[in-house]
């Protein structure tokens, strides 16, 4: 969270605490495993990282393209949207984005992986 609005949004999410039962937790864990196996990078596209990037990269869009490639086997299916997202090779590895990421994604490492695809 990086703004008061995001804090309030997250607090509202937990306003009515209703925990999952064991069966629901098992289903959730199974879904998490499928997500991790299939997509690789669990970006939720929250965009908390975006404003921090000195290279102006659209990090979630680049990750989406990376995941699309991992699942489809096709290079950069998102075409022009990815071109607009910037070039992962411009990442300077400052790590500012990773500090904002609620999923604790090692974004500089992902950017290096994307860069190495070319
Ligand atoms: S590590 Fe790379 S992607 Fe992350 S904020 Fe710095 S330049 Fe942008
Ligand atoms: S902060 Fe993390 S989860 Fe959110 S868009 Fe950026 S990389 Fe994805």
Q: What's the whole-number mean pLDDT along residues 87-102?
A: 95
66 lines ligand 2 (CB under 6 A): no
What pLDDT sits at residue 78? 64
Domain ranges of the chain: 44-118
Give the model confidence (pLDDT) of 38-79 as tens digits: 667 889 999 999 999 999 999 999 998 888 888 777 766 667
Nearest CA residue ID for atom 2, ligand 2: 101
Among residues 94, 80, 77, 82, the alpha carbon closest in space to that of 58 is found at 82
Give the model confidence (pLDDT) of 2-11 as tens digits: 899 999 998 8
Distance, in Å, from the CA atom of 67 to the CA atom of 92, rounded to the nearest integer, reads: 22
């Amino acid at each position: 969270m990086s703004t008061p609005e995001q804090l309030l949004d997250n607090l509202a999410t937990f306003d009515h605490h209703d925990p999952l039962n064991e069966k629901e937790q098992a289903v959730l864990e199974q879904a998490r495993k499928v997500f991790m196996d299939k997509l690789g990078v669990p970006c939720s596209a929250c965009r908390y990282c975006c404003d921090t990037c000195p290279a102006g990269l659209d990090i979630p869009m680049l990750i989406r393209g990376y995941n699309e490639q991992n699942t489809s086997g096709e290079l950069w299916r998102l075409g022009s949207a990815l071109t607009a997202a910037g070039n992962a090779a411009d990442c300077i590895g400052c790590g500012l984005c990773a500090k904002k990421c609620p999923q604790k994604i090692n974004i500089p490492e992902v950017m290096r992986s994307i860069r190495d695809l070319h």
